[in-house]
Structure 1
Amino acid sequence: MSIDASTDIDTDTSAAIPCIELKALSGIPTIPLLGGAELNAFVDLASGPTSDCKLNLNLLIQLGPLFASMACLFKILNVISKIKDFASAVPDPTKLATSVPKLLDAIAQLEGCIPALQIPNLIAMLKHILLLIINILLCFLTQVDSILKFKLSINMDGTDDNPVLKDTLICASNSADAAMSNAMSSLKPLQSLMMIIGIIAGLTGQSLDLPDFSAIAGGANDIEKTVSSIKSAVQGLKGIVDSLPG
Protein backbone atom coordinates (compact mmCIF):
# COMPACT_ATOMS: atom_id res chain seq x y z
CA MET A 1 0.00 0.00 0.00
CA SER A 2 1.39 3.40 -0.96
CA ILE A 3 0.54 6.89 0.21
CA ASP A 4 0.60 9.65 -2.38
CA ALA A 5 1.23 13.29 -1.75
CA SER A 6 -2.46 14.10 -1.84
CA THR A 7 -3.25 11.83 1.12
CA ASP A 8 -4.34 13.76 4.20
CA ILE A 9 -2.19 12.92 7.25
CA ASP A 10 -3.30 13.96 10.74
CA THR A 11 -0.54 16.21 12.09
CA ASP A 12 -2.57 17.71 14.94
CA THR A 13 -0.06 18.26 17.76
CA SER A 14 -2.73 19.35 20.23
CA ALA A 15 -3.75 15.73 20.95
CA ALA A 16 -3.58 14.59 24.55
CA ILE A 17 -0.19 13.24 25.51
CA PRO A 18 -0.28 9.79 27.15
CA CYS A 19 1.78 10.27 30.29
CA ILE A 20 1.54 8.54 33.63
CA GLU A 21 3.35 10.77 36.10
CA LEU A 22 4.99 9.25 39.15
CA LYS A 23 3.50 10.93 42.21
CA ALA A 24 5.61 11.95 45.19
CA LEU A 25 4.76 10.14 48.42
CA SER A 26 2.43 11.88 50.86
CA GLY A 27 4.63 10.74 53.77
CA ILE A 28 6.15 7.72 55.51
CA PRO A 29 3.54 5.88 57.64
CA THR A 30 4.68 5.01 61.17
CA ILE A 31 3.45 3.13 64.24
CA PRO A 32 4.58 4.34 67.69
CA LEU A 33 6.03 1.58 69.87
CA LEU A 34 6.50 1.14 73.59
CA GLY A 35 9.47 3.08 74.92
CA GLY A 36 9.14 5.93 72.44
CA ALA A 37 10.47 4.16 69.33
CA GLU A 38 8.61 4.05 65.99
CA LEU A 39 7.99 1.38 63.38
CA ASN A 40 8.42 2.94 59.94
CA ALA A 41 7.45 1.76 56.49
CA PHE A 42 10.40 1.43 54.13
CA VAL A 43 10.52 2.65 50.53
CA ASP A 44 11.24 -0.52 48.52
CA LEU A 45 13.42 0.72 45.65
CA ALA A 46 13.73 -2.77 44.18
CA SER A 47 9.99 -3.26 43.49
CA GLY A 48 9.56 -0.42 41.03
CA PRO A 49 7.56 2.80 41.44
CA THR A 50 6.56 3.36 45.06
CA SER A 51 3.08 4.37 46.17
CA ASP A 52 1.39 5.18 49.46
CA CYS A 53 -0.48 1.85 49.23
CA LYS A 54 2.80 -0.06 48.95
CA LEU A 55 4.19 1.76 51.98
CA ASN A 56 1.17 0.89 54.10
CA LEU A 57 1.40 -2.76 53.03
CA ASN A 58 5.11 -2.72 53.84
CA LEU A 59 4.37 -1.49 57.35
CA LEU A 60 1.64 -4.09 57.81
CA ILE A 61 4.01 -6.91 56.85
CA GLN A 62 6.41 -5.77 59.57
CA LEU A 63 3.85 -6.21 62.35
CA GLY A 64 4.03 -10.03 62.44
CA PRO A 65 7.78 -10.24 63.10
CA LEU A 66 7.49 -7.26 65.46
CA PHE A 67 4.97 -8.97 67.71
CA ALA A 68 7.07 -12.15 67.68
CA SER A 69 10.14 -10.18 68.71
CA MET A 70 8.21 -8.51 71.54
CA ALA A 71 7.62 -11.82 73.35
CA CYS A 72 10.32 -11.03 75.93
CA LEU A 73 8.92 -7.55 76.44
CA PHE A 74 5.52 -8.98 77.26
CA LYS A 75 7.17 -11.41 79.69
CA ILE A 76 8.93 -8.49 81.37
CA LEU A 77 5.62 -6.65 81.66
CA ASN A 78 4.13 -9.80 83.16
CA VAL A 79 6.90 -9.88 85.81
CA ILE A 80 6.25 -6.21 86.62
CA SER A 81 2.54 -7.00 87.01
CA LYS A 82 3.30 -9.91 89.35
CA ILE A 83 5.70 -7.77 91.41
CA LYS A 84 2.90 -5.24 91.81
CA ASP A 85 0.54 -8.02 92.95
CA PHE A 86 3.22 -9.29 95.35
CA ALA A 87 3.76 -5.85 96.84
CA SER A 88 0.03 -5.37 97.39
CA ALA A 89 -0.28 -8.87 98.91
CA VAL A 90 2.49 -8.52 101.52
CA PRO A 91 0.15 -7.31 104.28
CA ASP A 92 -2.26 -10.18 103.51
CA PRO A 93 -0.83 -13.71 104.22
CA THR A 94 -3.61 -15.35 102.21
CA LYS A 95 -2.84 -13.35 99.05
CA LEU A 96 0.91 -13.75 99.64
CA ALA A 97 0.65 -17.53 99.41
CA THR A 98 -0.71 -17.32 95.86
CA SER A 99 1.26 -14.32 94.59
CA VAL A 100 4.77 -15.66 95.38
CA PRO A 101 4.52 -18.77 93.12
CA LYS A 102 3.12 -16.64 90.31
CA LEU A 103 6.01 -14.17 90.65
CA LEU A 104 8.62 -16.95 90.63
CA ASP A 105 7.02 -18.53 87.57
CA ALA A 106 7.00 -15.19 85.70
CA ILE A 107 10.69 -14.64 86.52
CA ALA A 108 11.54 -18.16 85.35
CA GLN A 109 10.01 -17.40 81.95
CA LEU A 110 12.51 -14.55 81.56
CA GLU A 111 15.58 -16.79 81.64
CA GLY A 112 15.79 -16.95 77.83
CA CYS A 113 15.50 -13.17 77.58
CA ILE A 114 18.36 -12.19 79.89
CA PRO A 115 20.93 -10.35 77.69
CA ALA A 116 23.93 -11.77 79.56
CA LEU A 117 22.97 -15.24 78.33
CA GLN A 118 22.19 -14.06 74.80
CA ILE A 119 25.24 -11.93 73.92
CA PRO A 120 26.52 -14.20 71.08
CA ASN A 121 23.05 -14.20 69.53
CA LEU A 122 22.72 -10.44 69.97
CA ILE A 123 26.07 -9.84 68.23
CA ALA A 124 25.04 -12.11 65.35
CA MET A 125 21.74 -10.27 65.02
CA LEU A 126 23.54 -6.91 65.16
CA LYS A 127 25.98 -7.96 62.45
CA HIS A 128 23.25 -9.15 60.10
CA ILE A 129 21.16 -6.01 60.60
CA LEU A 130 24.19 -3.87 59.72
CA LEU A 131 24.84 -5.99 56.61
CA LEU A 132 21.20 -5.49 55.60
CA ILE A 133 21.54 -1.72 56.01
CA ILE A 134 24.73 -1.71 53.93
CA ASN A 135 22.91 -3.54 51.13
CA ILE A 136 20.00 -1.10 51.32
CA LEU A 137 22.40 1.85 51.08
CA LEU A 138 24.18 0.30 48.09
CA CYS A 139 20.77 -0.15 46.46
CA PHE A 140 20.02 3.51 47.22
CA LEU A 141 23.26 4.64 45.56
CA THR A 142 22.50 2.55 42.46
CA GLN A 143 19.00 4.00 42.25
CA VAL A 144 20.20 7.59 42.61
CA ASP A 145 22.90 7.05 39.99
CA SER A 146 20.31 5.68 37.58
CA ILE A 147 17.97 8.64 38.15
CA LEU A 148 20.79 11.16 37.66
CA LYS A 149 21.86 9.51 34.39
CA PHE A 150 18.25 9.53 33.19
CA LYS A 151 17.90 13.23 34.04
CA LEU A 152 21.07 14.01 32.08
CA SER A 153 19.69 12.15 29.06
CA ILE A 154 16.67 14.47 28.85
CA ASN A 155 17.50 17.15 26.27
CA MET A 156 14.91 19.89 25.77
CA ASP A 157 16.86 21.57 22.95
CA GLY A 158 14.86 21.92 19.74
CA THR A 159 11.52 20.95 21.29
CA ASP A 160 9.85 24.38 21.04
CA ASP A 161 8.49 23.48 17.59
CA ASN A 162 7.38 20.04 18.75
CA PRO A 163 4.94 20.40 21.67
CA VAL A 164 4.26 16.65 21.77
CA LEU A 165 7.91 15.82 22.34
CA LYS A 166 8.32 18.74 24.75
CA ASP A 167 5.40 17.67 26.94
CA THR A 168 6.64 14.07 26.93
CA LEU A 169 10.11 15.13 28.09
CA ILE A 170 8.64 17.41 30.78
CA CYS A 171 6.57 14.49 32.04
CA ALA A 172 9.67 12.28 32.13
CA SER A 173 11.64 14.97 33.98
CA ASN A 174 8.88 15.42 36.57
CA SER A 175 8.73 11.68 37.15
CA ALA A 176 12.50 11.56 37.62
CA ASP A 177 12.26 14.35 40.22
CA ALA A 178 9.54 12.42 42.06
CA ALA A 179 11.64 9.25 41.94
CA MET A 180 14.58 11.14 43.46
CA SER A 181 12.35 12.57 46.20
CA ASN A 182 11.05 9.09 47.01
CA ALA A 183 14.59 7.70 47.11
CA MET A 184 15.59 10.38 49.61
CA SER A 185 12.57 9.48 51.74
CA SER A 186 13.97 5.96 52.09
CA LEU A 187 16.80 7.34 54.26
CA LYS A 188 14.62 8.80 57.00
CA PRO A 189 13.48 5.56 58.73
CA LEU A 190 17.08 4.38 59.03
CA GLN A 191 17.78 6.74 61.93
CA SER A 192 15.16 5.02 64.11
CA LEU A 193 16.80 1.72 63.24
CA MET A 194 20.19 3.16 64.23
CA MET A 195 18.81 3.93 67.70
CA ILE A 196 17.75 0.30 68.15
CA ILE A 197 21.14 -0.89 66.88
CA GLY A 198 22.80 1.36 69.45
CA ILE A 199 20.74 -0.27 72.22
CA ILE A 200 21.66 -3.77 71.01
CA ALA A 201 25.31 -2.76 70.79
CA GLY A 202 25.19 -1.47 74.37
CA LEU A 203 23.82 -4.80 75.61
CA THR A 204 26.73 -6.62 73.95
CA GLY A 205 29.33 -4.19 75.30
CA GLN A 206 30.13 -2.80 71.83
CA SER A 207 30.80 0.90 71.27
CA LEU A 208 29.79 1.74 67.70
CA ASP A 209 30.28 4.98 65.78
CA LEU A 210 26.99 4.89 63.87
CA PRO A 211 26.11 7.34 61.05
CA ASP A 212 23.46 10.00 61.69
CA PHE A 213 20.89 9.43 58.95
CA SER A 214 18.66 12.23 60.18
CA ALA A 215 21.45 14.68 59.28
CA ILE A 216 22.10 12.94 55.96
CA ALA A 217 18.41 12.96 54.98
CA GLY A 218 18.17 16.59 56.10
CA GLY A 219 20.62 17.59 53.37
CA ALA A 220 18.64 15.81 50.65
CA ASN A 221 18.47 18.99 48.50
CA ASP A 222 22.20 18.62 47.83
CA ILE A 223 22.31 15.30 45.97
CA GLU A 224 26.09 15.29 45.58
CA LYS A 225 26.63 15.86 49.30
CA THR A 226 24.05 13.20 50.19
CA VAL A 227 25.67 10.61 47.92
CA SER A 228 29.08 11.39 49.42
CA SER A 229 27.68 11.04 52.96
CA ILE A 230 26.05 7.70 52.11
CA LYS A 231 29.30 6.36 50.65
CA SER A 232 31.10 7.36 53.86
CA ALA A 233 28.36 5.71 55.93
CA VAL A 234 28.73 2.48 53.94
CA GLN A 235 32.48 2.41 54.54
CA GLY A 236 31.99 3.11 58.24
CA LEU A 237 29.39 0.37 58.62
CA LYS A 238 31.59 -2.10 56.76
CA GLY A 239 34.37 -1.34 59.25
CA ILE A 240 31.98 -1.99 62.16
CA VAL A 241 30.83 -5.31 60.63
CA ASP A 242 34.44 -6.43 60.15
CA SER A 243 35.18 -5.62 63.80
CA LEU A 244 32.34 -7.76 65.17
CA PRO A 245 33.07 -11.40 66.02
CA GLY A 246 31.32 -14.23 64.25
Structure 2
Amino acid sequence: MSTVSTPLADSAIMLRRNLKHTLRNPTTMFNAVLFPIVMMLMFVKVFGGAFNVGPDVDYIDYATPGLLVMAVSYGLGATATAVNDDMTKGIINRFKTMDVSRGAMLTGHVVVTTVRCLVACAAIIGVAFAMGFDPDASAVDWLGVIGLVVLLSFAAGWLTVAMGLAAKTAESAGMAAVPLVMLPFLSSAFVPADTMGTGVRQFVEYQPFTPIIETLRGLLGGDLSTGDAIAALAWCVGLAVLGYVWAVSTFKKRA
Protein backbone atom coordinates (compact mmCIF):
# COMPACT_ATOMS: atom_id res chain seq x y z
CA MET A 1 0.00 0.00 0.00
CA SER A 2 1.31 3.47 -0.89
CA THR A 3 2.26 6.12 1.65
CA VAL A 4 -0.74 8.17 0.53
CA SER A 5 -3.41 5.47 0.71
CA THR A 6 -2.41 4.32 4.20
CA PRO A 7 -3.26 7.63 5.97
CA LEU A 8 -6.47 7.86 3.92
CA ALA A 9 -7.50 4.35 4.90
CA ASP A 10 -6.63 5.03 8.54
CA SER A 11 -8.64 8.27 8.43
CA ALA A 12 -11.65 6.37 7.08
CA ILE A 13 -11.38 3.89 9.94
CA MET A 14 -11.12 6.68 12.52
CA LEU A 15 -14.09 8.44 10.94
CA ARG A 16 -16.21 5.30 11.13
CA ARG A 17 -15.17 4.77 14.76
CA ASN A 18 -16.06 8.33 15.75
CA LEU A 19 -19.37 8.21 13.90
CA LYS A 20 -20.34 5.08 15.81
CA HIS A 21 -19.46 6.76 19.09
CA THR A 22 -21.63 9.76 18.14
CA LEU A 23 -24.61 7.62 17.16
CA ARG A 24 -24.36 5.64 20.40
CA ASN A 25 -24.36 8.78 22.55
CA PRO A 26 -27.87 10.31 22.71
CA THR A 27 -26.60 13.36 24.62
CA THR A 28 -24.18 14.22 21.83
CA MET A 29 -26.90 13.94 19.20
CA PHE A 30 -29.27 16.06 21.31
CA ASN A 31 -26.73 18.84 21.88
CA ALA A 32 -25.63 18.83 18.25
CA VAL A 33 -28.98 18.57 16.45
CA LEU A 34 -32.05 18.87 18.67
CA PHE A 35 -30.97 21.61 21.07
CA PRO A 36 -30.32 24.19 18.30
CA ILE A 37 -33.86 23.48 17.07
CA VAL A 38 -35.20 24.05 20.59
CA MET A 39 -33.31 27.35 20.69
CA MET A 40 -34.73 28.26 17.30
CA LEU A 41 -38.30 27.66 18.42
CA MET A 42 -37.70 29.66 21.59
CA PHE A 43 -36.12 32.67 19.92
CA VAL A 44 -38.51 32.85 16.98
CA LYS A 45 -41.79 31.93 18.68
CA VAL A 46 -41.19 33.31 22.19
CA PHE A 47 -38.78 36.25 21.83
CA GLY A 48 -39.02 37.08 18.15
CA GLY A 49 -41.90 39.50 18.48
CA ALA A 50 -39.95 41.64 20.95
CA PHE A 51 -36.97 42.21 18.63
CA ASN A 52 -36.84 45.07 16.14
CA VAL A 53 -34.70 43.90 13.23
CA GLY A 54 -35.94 46.31 10.60
CA PRO A 55 -39.10 47.17 8.67
CA ASP A 56 -40.74 44.45 6.62
CA VAL A 57 -38.27 41.82 7.86
CA ASP A 58 -39.63 38.52 9.15
CA TYR A 59 -37.73 37.49 12.25
CA ILE A 60 -37.32 33.91 11.01
CA ASP A 61 -35.46 35.26 7.95
CA TYR A 62 -33.21 37.38 10.16
CA ALA A 63 -32.49 34.72 12.80
CA THR A 64 -31.85 31.66 10.61
CA PRO A 65 -28.23 32.57 9.63
CA GLY A 66 -27.32 33.07 13.29
CA LEU A 67 -28.99 29.80 14.23
CA LEU A 68 -26.87 28.01 11.62
CA VAL A 69 -23.74 29.27 13.35
CA MET A 70 -25.21 28.30 16.72
CA ALA A 71 -25.86 24.80 15.37
CA VAL A 72 -22.16 24.55 14.50
CA SER A 73 -21.00 25.75 17.92
CA TYR A 74 -23.32 23.61 20.04
CA GLY A 75 -21.77 20.30 18.98
CA LEU A 76 -18.18 21.27 19.77
CA GLY A 77 -18.09 20.31 23.44
CA ALA A 78 -18.59 16.65 22.55
CA THR A 79 -15.59 16.79 20.19
CA ALA A 80 -13.29 18.29 22.83
CA THR A 81 -14.38 15.67 25.37
CA ALA A 82 -13.95 12.77 22.93
CA VAL A 83 -10.46 13.90 21.94
CA ASN A 84 -9.43 14.27 25.58
CA ASP A 85 -10.82 10.82 26.39
CA ASP A 86 -8.64 9.34 23.65
CA MET A 87 -5.59 11.10 25.07
CA THR A 88 -6.14 10.33 28.77
CA LYS A 89 -7.52 6.78 28.63
CA GLY A 90 -4.70 5.17 26.68
CA ILE A 91 -6.49 4.78 23.33
CA ILE A 92 -3.83 6.79 21.52
CA ASN A 93 -1.04 4.57 22.85
CA ARG A 94 -2.97 1.51 21.71
CA PHE A 95 -3.34 2.96 18.23
CA LYS A 96 0.40 3.74 18.15
CA THR A 97 1.23 0.05 18.74
CA MET A 98 -1.04 -0.78 15.79
CA ASP A 99 0.92 1.55 13.48
CA VAL A 100 -2.10 3.78 12.82
CA SER A 101 -1.32 7.09 11.11
CA ARG A 102 -1.09 9.83 13.74
CA GLY A 103 -2.73 12.33 11.42
CA ALA A 104 -5.72 10.01 11.01
CA MET A 105 -6.40 10.09 14.75
CA LEU A 106 -6.99 13.85 14.61
CA THR A 107 -8.53 14.01 11.14
CA GLY A 108 -11.22 11.51 12.12
CA HIS A 109 -12.43 13.79 14.90
CA VAL A 110 -12.41 16.87 12.65
CA VAL A 111 -14.34 15.17 9.85
CA VAL A 112 -16.99 13.69 12.14
CA THR A 113 -17.41 17.14 13.76
CA THR A 114 -17.94 18.66 10.32
CA VAL A 115 -20.49 15.99 9.39
CA ARG A 116 -22.34 16.46 12.68
CA CYS A 117 -22.46 20.23 12.13
CA LEU A 118 -23.81 19.79 8.61
CA VAL A 119 -26.57 17.50 9.86
CA ALA A 120 -27.50 20.06 12.52
CA CYS A 121 -27.54 22.88 9.95
CA ALA A 122 -29.69 20.82 7.58
CA ALA A 123 -32.16 20.27 10.43
CA ILE A 124 -32.20 24.02 11.18
CA ILE A 125 -32.90 24.85 7.53
CA GLY A 126 -35.69 22.27 7.37
CA VAL A 127 -37.40 23.58 10.50
CA ALA A 128 -36.89 27.18 9.32
CA PHE A 129 -38.77 26.44 6.08
CA ALA A 130 -41.56 24.83 8.09
CA MET A 131 -41.77 28.06 10.13
CA GLY A 132 -42.04 30.31 7.08
CA PHE A 133 -38.42 30.98 6.13
CA ASP A 134 -38.40 32.64 2.71
CA PRO A 135 -34.85 33.26 1.41
CA ASP A 136 -34.04 35.13 -1.80
CA ALA A 137 -30.92 33.05 -2.44
CA SER A 138 -30.06 31.74 -5.88
CA ALA A 139 -28.50 28.33 -6.51
CA VAL A 140 -25.05 29.94 -6.45
CA ASP A 141 -25.89 31.66 -3.16
CA TRP A 142 -26.93 28.33 -1.63
CA LEU A 143 -23.62 26.82 -2.72
CA GLY A 144 -21.91 29.71 -0.98
CA VAL A 145 -23.91 29.05 2.20
CA ILE A 146 -22.97 25.37 2.15
CA GLY A 147 -19.31 26.16 1.46
CA LEU A 148 -19.10 28.69 4.30
CA VAL A 149 -20.81 26.33 6.76
CA VAL A 150 -18.39 23.54 5.80
CA LEU A 151 -15.41 25.87 6.18
CA LEU A 152 -16.64 27.14 9.56
CA SER A 153 -17.30 23.59 10.79
CA PHE A 154 -13.85 22.48 9.63
CA ALA A 155 -12.15 25.43 11.33
CA ALA A 156 -14.12 25.00 14.55
CA GLY A 157 -13.37 21.27 14.45
CA TRP A 158 -9.61 21.80 14.40
CA LEU A 159 -9.77 24.46 17.11
CA THR A 160 -11.89 22.19 19.32
CA VAL A 161 -9.60 19.21 18.75
CA ALA A 162 -6.69 21.38 19.88
CA MET A 163 -8.61 22.39 23.01
CA GLY A 164 -9.37 18.76 23.78
CA LEU A 165 -5.73 17.79 23.39
CA ALA A 166 -4.53 20.65 25.61
CA ALA A 167 -7.01 20.01 28.43
CA LYS A 168 -5.99 17.87 31.40
CA THR A 169 -9.37 16.21 31.96
CA ALA A 170 -12.51 15.49 29.95
CA GLU A 171 -14.49 17.91 32.12
CA SER A 172 -12.08 20.78 31.48
CA ALA A 173 -12.07 19.90 27.77
CA GLY A 174 -15.83 20.29 27.62
CA MET A 175 -15.62 23.61 29.48
CA ALA A 176 -12.93 24.85 27.09
CA ALA A 177 -15.49 24.83 24.26
CA VAL A 178 -17.99 26.98 26.20
CA PRO A 179 -16.66 30.32 24.81
CA LEU A 180 -17.33 29.06 21.28
CA VAL A 181 -20.86 28.10 22.34
CA MET A 182 -21.49 31.53 23.89
CA LEU A 183 -20.07 33.68 21.06
CA PRO A 184 -23.19 33.44 18.85
CA PHE A 185 -25.19 35.08 21.66
CA LEU A 186 -22.73 38.00 21.63
CA SER A 187 -23.03 38.56 17.90
CA SER A 188 -25.56 39.88 15.40
CA ALA A 189 -27.29 36.48 15.38
CA PHE A 190 -30.51 37.65 17.03
CA VAL A 191 -30.49 41.46 16.94
CA PRO A 192 -28.52 44.00 14.85
CA ALA A 193 -25.24 45.16 16.39
CA ASP A 194 -26.20 48.84 16.08
CA THR A 195 -29.03 48.34 18.61
CA MET A 196 -26.57 47.37 21.35
CA GLY A 197 -24.86 49.54 23.95
CA THR A 198 -21.39 50.99 23.73
CA GLY A 199 -18.71 48.41 24.45
CA VAL A 200 -20.92 45.45 23.67
CA ARG A 201 -21.54 46.77 20.16
CA GLN A 202 -17.81 47.08 19.43
CA PHE A 203 -17.16 43.57 20.70
CA VAL A 204 -19.99 42.19 18.58
CA GLU A 205 -18.76 43.97 15.45
CA TYR A 206 -15.19 42.65 15.71
CA GLN A 207 -15.66 39.11 17.01
CA PRO A 208 -15.29 36.28 14.45
CA PHE A 209 -18.87 35.01 14.26
CA THR A 210 -20.50 38.32 13.32
CA PRO A 211 -19.02 38.63 9.78
CA ILE A 212 -19.72 34.93 9.23
CA ILE A 213 -23.36 35.41 10.24
CA GLU A 214 -23.68 38.57 8.14
CA THR A 215 -22.20 36.74 5.14
CA LEU A 216 -24.71 33.91 5.52
CA ARG A 217 -27.47 36.50 5.93
CA GLY A 218 -26.33 38.28 2.79
CA LEU A 219 -26.18 35.06 0.78
CA LEU A 220 -29.62 33.92 1.92
CA GLY A 221 -31.08 37.38 1.39
CA GLY A 222 -29.48 37.93 -2.01
CA ASP A 223 -27.55 40.97 -0.75
CA LEU A 224 -23.99 39.86 -0.04
CA SER A 225 -21.47 42.35 1.36
CA THR A 226 -17.98 41.83 -0.06
CA GLY A 227 -16.37 43.19 3.11
CA ASP A 228 -18.25 40.75 5.33
CA ALA A 229 -17.44 37.87 2.98
CA ILE A 230 -13.70 38.62 3.03
CA ALA A 231 -13.71 38.96 6.81
CA ALA A 232 -15.66 35.71 7.20
CA LEU A 233 -13.27 33.75 5.00
CA ALA A 234 -10.25 35.27 6.74
CA TRP A 235 -11.59 34.32 10.18
CA CYS A 236 -12.41 30.75 9.09
CA VAL A 237 -9.01 30.20 7.49
CA GLY A 238 -7.21 31.82 10.42
CA LEU A 239 -9.05 29.70 13.00
CA ALA A 240 -8.42 26.55 10.96
CA VAL A 241 -4.68 27.25 10.71
CA LEU A 242 -4.47 28.15 14.41
CA GLY A 243 -6.36 25.02 15.41
CA TYR A 244 -4.33 22.75 13.14
CA VAL A 245 -0.93 24.09 14.28
CA TRP A 246 -1.98 24.01 17.93
CA ALA A 247 -3.43 20.50 17.65
CA VAL A 248 -0.44 19.00 15.84
CA SER A 249 2.03 20.66 18.22
CA THR A 250 0.16 19.46 21.33
CA PHE A 251 -0.32 15.98 19.90
CA LYS A 252 3.40 15.59 19.23
CA LYS A 253 4.19 16.58 22.81
CA ARG A 254 1.60 14.36 24.50
CA ALA A 255 1.24 11.33 22.21
Structure-2-length-normalised TM-score: 0.29
Structure-1-length-normalised TM-score: 0.29
